[in-house]
Amino acid sequence: HSKGQVGEIGQMFYNKTLCTIVMLCASSSLPIFQRRDNNGRLSMCSKLCYAIGGAPYQITGSALGFFLQIYLLDVAQLDPFYASIILFVGRAWDAVTDPTVGFLVSRSRWTRCGRMMPWILISTPFAVLTYFLIWYVPPVEQGKVLWYLVFYCLFQSLQTCFHVPYSALTMFISMDQKERDSATAYRMTVEVLGTVVGTAIQGQIVGRAIAPCLPGDLDVLDNGNSTLLGSDFNITHISLDETKQAYLIASAVICTMYVLCAAVLFLGVREQEEPMSFFEGVRMVMGYGPYVKLVMGFLFTSLAFMLLEGNFALFITYTLGFRNDFQNILLVIMLSGTLSIPFWQWFLIRFGKKTAVYIGITWAVPFMILIVCIESSLIVAYVVSVAAGVSVAAAFLLPWSMLPDVVDDFKVKNPDSSGHEAIFYSFYVFFTKFASGISLGISTLSLDFAGYVTRGCSQPDAVNLTLKVLVSPAPVVLIFLGLFIFKTYPIDEERRQGNRKLLQEMRESDQDSETESTELGSVV
């Protein structure tokens, strides 16, 4: 073919590909992405596509939550003080961006692909790039802190542009409360599975190239090798190159999965259009009692599990002494959580969501106490991991299952106000992320004050004591504070079912009004 013919063929291929993508996005009748059955209910395929969209946030979140702290300390070799600044500022910045993105989303115009989907589509390539650069150790020593701070903040901002619209999408995929609860159960199952995948990818790849530790009497040479003084082994080769490469490989795999999951969400889910406002909505939402109580209750319980998540890898490695098993123990926690999601979904339907909160979240308390009170035992560590995973599953599922109930209750109390869903979700994410930043910053700073030794084979007694406090007494206290606040949460099963009936009557009334208007217009 001539160059002109090749160009025409390329242009034709591009146009057909673009048309195909638009058709997939706009059409609701394609069999592979059938969104609703003949009764108007969401199809299983639509629920799965929606659920898969939640995986990127959890895959990257579990990798960062479990491994970023130990990566900054032992691989990037930052001072614990600077590592704490990066972790705190990054999470705090992430929290601030949530209401900002919520405002921008609410002001966005409706497109053929919806209001939420363009945010998800555009943010994805930039998010994966910045995520990859977080796990790259720059060759300059002086600019490391700035490097990680910038790319960590950038990634958190771009991920917020994905996650806030995705979270609010729950209220736009269906008007039926049961369908939303079912879709949320699918989502939580996939999200916990996402934490398993993130922990497995990061843990198993990195675990095969663990950063070598440095004994006390070690004279480090300029060429990257080390001489162990007073030992029969004169020279021990210690290099971080393989460990750095392993982190990059793991991040590349996670980036690929991020893009694939975003594509499935974009092609398989269609949102329903509703009008939105923001500033008046913020005032109404933040003054709504049930929402405030729900957010405050889960704020403390989420902070408890974030403390446990952020310090568990260090606790297993140094306090328990299972340096070569920590990635497998973390994987067991996530697998246990994944397998427990269907049970908790059945439990909350059978006994109510408030009961599920009390039992599910307190389930981990005795095991948190057990892990720090007995002698170091690998078997006990695995038993505790299985039990903790069951409680983690409840902590994952329940907040996102109960937020739609608060939105429905708000709609019943304010029937003339609509379009505030993004505000509910963005501010809930804001508070939980801000708490996460506080937990990581304080815990890393506490380790610095306790005398943490970077890349040490063992840590001082003060560090081990600090790790014990961070994974047991502190989370236990926070859990009970959260449950105490949750006692005042007013939306029980009776009120939830009543709201469901009232909203159904309101929708039927609106449909009747629209039918009458149409008939009148036809007569005229």
Residue 1's SS3 state is coil
Q: Are residues 284 and 178 in the same domain?
A: no
The DSSP output letter for 217 is: S
Q: What is the Cβ-side half-sphere exposure of residue 2, based on CA atoms within 13 angstroms?
A: 2
C-alpha to C-alpha distance for 524 and 521, rounded to whole angstroms: 5
Q: Please state whether the predicted TM-score (pTM) of the whole model is above 0.85.
A: no
Q: Are residues 421 and 348 in the same domain?
A: yes
Looking at residue 127, what is its pLDDT?
A: 94
Q: Are residues 287 and 421 in the same domain?
A: yes
> Pairing relation of β-strands 235-236 and 218-220?
unpaired
Are the beta carbons of 336 and 276 closer than 8 angstroms?
no
In the chain, the amino acid numbered 199 is T
Residue at 29 is within a domain: no
C-alpha to C-alpha distance for 168 and 120, rounded to whole angstroms: 12
CATH number where 454 lies: 1.20.1250.20
Residue at 441 is within a domain: yes
Are the beta carbons of 164 and 123 closer than 8 angstroms?
no
Q: Where are the alpha helices (DSSP H) in 276-364?
A: 279-286, 289-314, 326-351, 353-362
How far, in Å, are 102, 287, 296, 401, 503 from residue 281 at the CA level? 11, 10, 19, 22, 20
> Which residues partner with 456 through β-bridges?
214
Q: Are residues 455 and 327 in the same domain?
A: yes
Query: What's 65-133 look like in SS3?
Result: HHHHHHHHHHCCCCCHHHHHHHHHHHHHHHHHHHHHHHHHHHHCCCECCECCHHHHHHHHHHHHHHHHH
pLDDT in tens, the chain (524 residues): 333 433 343 344 334 333 333 333 333 333 333 444 444 577 888 888 888 988 898 899 888 888 888 888 888 888 888 888 888 888 778 777 877 787 787 777 777 777 788 888 899 999 999 999 999 988 887 888 999 999 999 998 999 889 888 877 776 777 676 777 778 778 877 887 888 888 888 888 887 666 556 555 444 434 444 333 333 333 334 467 888 888 999 999 999 999 999 999 888 887 765 544 555 566 677 778 888 888 888 888 888 888 887 788 788 888 888 877 777 887 888 788 888 888 888 888 888 888 888 898 888 888 888 888 877 778 888 888 888 888 888 887 788 788 888 888 888 887 766 656 667 777 777 777 777 667 777 787 888 888 887 767 778 888 889 988 888 888 899 999 988 988 888 888 888 888 888 877 776 765 554 444 444 344 44
The closest alpha carbon to 309, from 195, 403, 202, belongs to 195
Calculate ∠ Cα 67-62-201, nearest 5°. 75
Residue at 38 is within a domain: no
C-alpha to C-alpha distance for 34 and 268, rounded to whole angstroms: 8
Radius of gyration (C-alpha) of the chain in whole angstroms: 25
Residue 218's SS3 state is strand
**Beta-carbon contacts of residue 342 (< 8 Å; ≥ 6 apart):** 185, 189
Residue at 229 is within a domain: no
Q: Are residues 293 and 368 in the same domain?
A: yes
Please give the distance of CA 270 from its chain centroid, rounded to a whole number: 22
Q: Are residues 171 and 96 in the same domain?
A: yes
Q: Contacts from 43-46 at CB under 8 Å and sequence distance 24+?
A: 45/268, 46/173, 46/268, 46/269
In the chain, the amino acid numbered 177 is Q
In the chain, the amino acid numbered 393 is A
Residue at 286 is within a domain: yes
Q: Are residues 356 and 429 in the same domain?
A: yes
Residue at 377 is within a domain: yes
Q: Where are the alpha helices (DSSP H) in 363-420?
A: 365-373, 378-413
The DSSP output letter for 169 is: G
Q: Are residues 255 and 286 in the same domain?
A: no
| Structure token digits, residue 32 | 């592979």
Are the beta carbons of 250 and 201 closer than 8 angstroms?
yes
C-alpha to C-alpha distance for 458 and 36, rounded to whole angstroms: 57
Looking at residue 140, what is its pLDDT?
A: 80
Domain count, the chain: 2
Are the beta carbons of 165 and 422 closer than 8 angstroms?
yes
Looking at residue 158, what is its pLDDT?
A: 92
The closest alpha carbon to 411, from 300, 307, 510, belongs to 510
Q: Are residues 253 and 325 in the same domain?
A: no
User: Within a 10 A sphere around the Cβ of 518, how many other Cβ atoms?
Assistant: 10
Q: Tell me which of 271, 291, 318 is where a domain ends.
A: 271
Query: What's 214-261 look like in SS3?
Result: ECCCEEECCCCCEEECCCCCCEECCCCHHHHHHHHHHHHHHHHHHHHH
The DSSP output letter for 452 is: -
Torsion of CA 108, 58, 448, 249, to 10 degrees: -110
Residue at 5 is within a domain: no
Residue at 290 is within a domain: yes
Torsion of CA 475, 478, 482, 485, to 10 degrees: 160
Q: Are residues 367 and 246 in the same domain?
A: no
Q: Strands across the sheet with 218-220, in order?
A: 218-220, 226-228, 235-236
Task: Give the DSSP H or E segment for 235.
Answer: strand 235-236
Are the beta carbons of 107 and 272 closer than 8 angstroms?
no
Q: Are residues 362 and 462 in the same domain?
A: yes
Q: Are residues 248 and 320 in the same domain?
A: no
| Structure token digits, residue 69 | 């702290």
**Backbone dihedral region of 412: left (phi > 0), alpha (psi from -120 to 50 degrees) or beta?**
alpha
Largest CA distance in the chain: 102
The domain containing residue 423 runs over which residues? Answer: 279-491
